[in-house]
Structure 1
Amino acid sequence: MTTLTMRPYAGEADLDAIAHLINACEAVDRTDSGTSVSELRQSFDDPSVDKTRNIYLWEDAENKLVGLGRLWVPPADKLTDGFLGFRVHPTARGKDLERQILAWGEGRMREMSQERGVPVKLRSSSRADQSERIAILERSGFTAERYFFTMERSLSQPIPEPQLPEGFVVRQMQGEQDIQAWVEMYNQAFIDHWNHRELTVERMRHELKNPYYKPELDLIATATDGTFAAFCHCRINPEDNKRNGRQEGLIICLGTRRGFRHRGLGRAMLLTGMQRLQAAGVEIAKLGVDVENPTGALRLYESVGFHKAFTHISYFKEV
């Protein structure tokens, strides 16, 4: 068996090797999840990421990076879940490395459980067409819990004109002066959703620093009293588009806060976001949705022409 060495993430010097590993996996898996050093840097600099304890690397005898485990634990007073993302180089798969990474994730969660005195779950995910990854998760005691669709829609087809309810206006996010109200609206909009984790002002500030963040694609519907009632946040990633040879835009999140639902705000904001992406030259709009979303989001997306591109499965394991 090949001798492997595991070590913690060492910072900037590791980014190139991590990007190379992820892109080597992407060349085989084709899950539209390639990356670059700049994208990794932005992701790892998220203030909720514990880079010293929750990102680990596995190298072979020649010091080549062949495995990556990244654990994200939502910032909260009471720890309950950890989300494990992992990659194994195609040449190192099926040789016990996947089990080692999952065991590391479980060990970290046990440490956190002992530190805080609460029971925890370890979560991970797979695309539904990744049969080998699914088999590894299930052999390791993970259970499928929830299904999500990635949906897409051609913007070359006509987009219905948004019909904003009377008394509401749409404007773009205005940076720091809006951040507190935006975060409050976001948390109110998703409070009913499965496994919702509170967004913090600190994490939203990090999002605003994303090099591809554009205020004109971060839209807010306000009521007559100025209340932030609904939102549609979109992004265009030119690096991703160059890698994939497509001109796509992502609707990162769409939501309507409690007390303002069932008035057509969600549909109006979705259509407005699609128009903004179309005006920016996007050919395909994509988004993700919980299949069992309690607010009827799946029906909304289908009603304006989105269709399923593929399915993700969320797995969990009691630790």
Structure 2
Amino acid sequence: MRDVDTLSLTWRALTLDDAPALARLWAAAEAADDTGENYDADDVAEELGAPLLDLARDTIGVFGPDGEFVAWGGLRGGPAQISDVHRVWADGTVLPAARGRGIGRELLGRQLARARELHLERHPQAPGQFCVAGYDKVESRTALFRAAGFEPVRWWYDMHRDLTAPLPELPPMPAGLRLEPYAPERDEAVRLAHGEAFAGHWGSTPPDRERWGHWYTGAQAFRPEHSLLVLAGDEVVGYLLTYYYTADHEATGVREAWVGQIGVRPAWRRRGLGVQLLGSALSVFRDAGYGRVGLNVDTDNSTGALGLYQRLGFEVARPSITWATALG
């Protein structure tokens, strides 16, 4: 098909009022792409209200004559503090019926131009990368990234475990340590433990209080009652944070517990605490009525997380790739 006549479309920045219509676009894309990600209007509003997201400069909506979304794009310019590379992340999608007409290519080009601006504004002294993610099965997205000169740089798995299957028997907790439910009064200690546990992991930067409060324990999907901590006295040495997404449940009919973060501080590793956290969480989830548990893992994770999840019965559901091109 020939390139779309962009004069027939309206391109503008998003506002919070666009959340319901954007949720409809994402639902239409998910029906075609089957990525396992479902959002309702409240979820979309939470995404659009993210810290450091400048809606006027970092989002693009593409609208047809009827006022409905044809495509959208958004950028995350990264935190104020970085460890090595300044990564600007892009997301976006095109309505399935409008694909193949050059809209995605135009959208990605505009995002790349804005990403270069963000890099110069925030971290011009550091190497810069423009990163996008795509599930292997969405071939049109992969083809777009390849044609734009992106290279694959990281591989990930979404993994699932059926909670109707037998659960593992766990060894005793190491002496001097105990497992407890997440408690709000320990939230700051958990934030700091997470930053320490993921220091040096690819693409990870320690979340500040604002990001932590929006995306982690302040997220509307966070389930504190189904999250766990490992304590040494009053010190948080390990943690597992759980999320439940209503839109996923409504779309699939499966009540899934999503393990968003699991970590052990480096000084406390090699004591089986990852097994204790995740193995104990499986029992918590089943007792709470969940039918399945899911998580995402970097296949090159240096702590051996992939092997741990496989030993506990997790299976690969969907592979995905991070693609990147240099900024500068």
Using structure 2 for the length normalisation, give the TM-score.
Answer: 0.92
The counterpart of 2:90, out of the listed 80, 84, 89, is: 84
1:125 CA drift (Å): 1.0
List gaps (5 residues or longer) in structure 1: none
- Whether the 8 Å contact between 1:70 and 1:85 is mirrored in structure 2 is yes
The counterpart of 1:46, out of the listed 50, 64, 84, is: 50
Residues 1:77 and 1:249: Cα distance change in structure 2 (over 3 Å): closer
Structure 2 Cα separation of the partners of residues 252 and 310 of structure 1: 16
Give percent identity, aligned residues only: 27
SS at match of 2:179: strand
Structure 2 Cα separation of the partners of residues 274 and 73 of structure 1: 35
- Whether the 8 Å contact between 1:71 and 1:84 is mirrored in structure 2 is yes
List gaps (5 residues or longer) in structure 2: none
SS at match of 1:259: helix
Structure 2 Cα separation of the partners of residues 157 and 113 of structure 1: 47
**Aligned residue number for residue 95 of structure 1:** 101
**Aligned residue number for residue 194 of structure 1:** 202
1:237 CA drift (Å): 2.0
The counterpart of 1:9, out of the listed 11, 14, 19, is: 14
Structure 1 Cα separation of the partners of residues 226 and 48 of structure 2: 23
**Aligned residue number for residue 222 of structure 1:** 231
1:63 CA drift (Å): 2.7
The counterpart of 2:222, out of the listed 210, 213, 222, is: 213
SS at match of 2:257: strand
**One-letter identity of the residue aligned with 2:140:** E
Q: Deviations over 1:74-111 (max 9, x none)?
A: 21245711110111001111111111111111111111
1:59 CA drift (Å): 1.2
Structure 2 Cα separation of the partners of residues 160 and 166 of structure 1: 21
**Aligned residue number for residue 77 of structure 2:** 73
Residues 1:269 and 1:77: Cα distance change in structure 2 (over 3 Å): closer
SS at match of 1:310: strand
**Residue correspondence of structure 1 range 131-150 to structure 2 within 5 A:** 131-150=139-158
Residues 1:113 and 1:48: Cα distance change in structure 2 (over 3 Å): closer
Structure 2 Cα separation of the partners of residues 49 and 240 of structure 1: 25
SS at match of 1:33: coil
1:111 aligns with 2:144: no
Structure 1 Cα separation of the partners of residues 221 and 68 of structure 2: 31
Using structure 1 for the length normalisation, give the TM-score.
Answer: 0.94
Q: How many residues align?
A: 316
Structure 2 Cα separation of the partners of residues 262 and 51 of structure 1: 44
Structure 1 Cα separation of the partners of residues 136 and 12 of structure 2: 30
1:167 aligns with 2:171: no
**One-letter identity of the residue aligned with 1:137:** F
- Whether the 8 Å contact between 1:67 and 1:89 is mirrored in structure 2 is yes
- Whether the 8 Å contact between 2:162 and 2:292 is mirrored in structure 1 is yes
- Whether the 8 Å contact between 2:33 and 2:137 is mirrored in structure 1 is no
SS at match of 2:105: helix
- Whether the 8 Å contact between 2:61 and 2:73 is mirrored in structure 1 is yes
Structure 2 Cα separation of the partners of residues 149 and 50 of structure 1: 30
Structure 1 Cα separation of the partners of residues 201 and 81 of structure 2: 19
Structure 1 Cα separation of the partners of residues 293 and 81 of structure 2: 36
1:277 CA drift (Å): 1.0
Q: Which moved more, 1:113-122 or 1:195-204?
A: 113-122
**One-letter identity of the residue aligned with 2:287:** A
**Aligned residue number for residue 257 of structure 1:** 265
What is the Cα-based RMSD across aligned positions, in Å? Answer: 1.6
- Whether the 8 Å contact between 2:75 and 2:115 is mirrored in structure 1 is no
Structure 2 Cα separation of the partners of residues 167 and 122 of structure 1: 45
1:284 CA drift (Å): 1.2
SS at match of 2:165: coil
The counterpart of 1:245, out of the listed 253, 257, 276, is: 253
Q: Which moved more, 1:140-149 or 1:112-121?
A: 112-121
Structure 2 Cα separation of the partners of residues 222 and 257 of structure 1: 11
Q: Which moved more, 1:14-23 or 1:56-65?
A: 56-65
1:211 CA drift (Å): 3.1
Structure 1 Cα separation of the partners of residues 53 and 228 of structure 2: 27
**Aligned residue number for residue 326 of structure 2:** 318
**Residue correspondence of structure 1 range 14-25 to structure 2 within 5 A:** 14-25=18-29
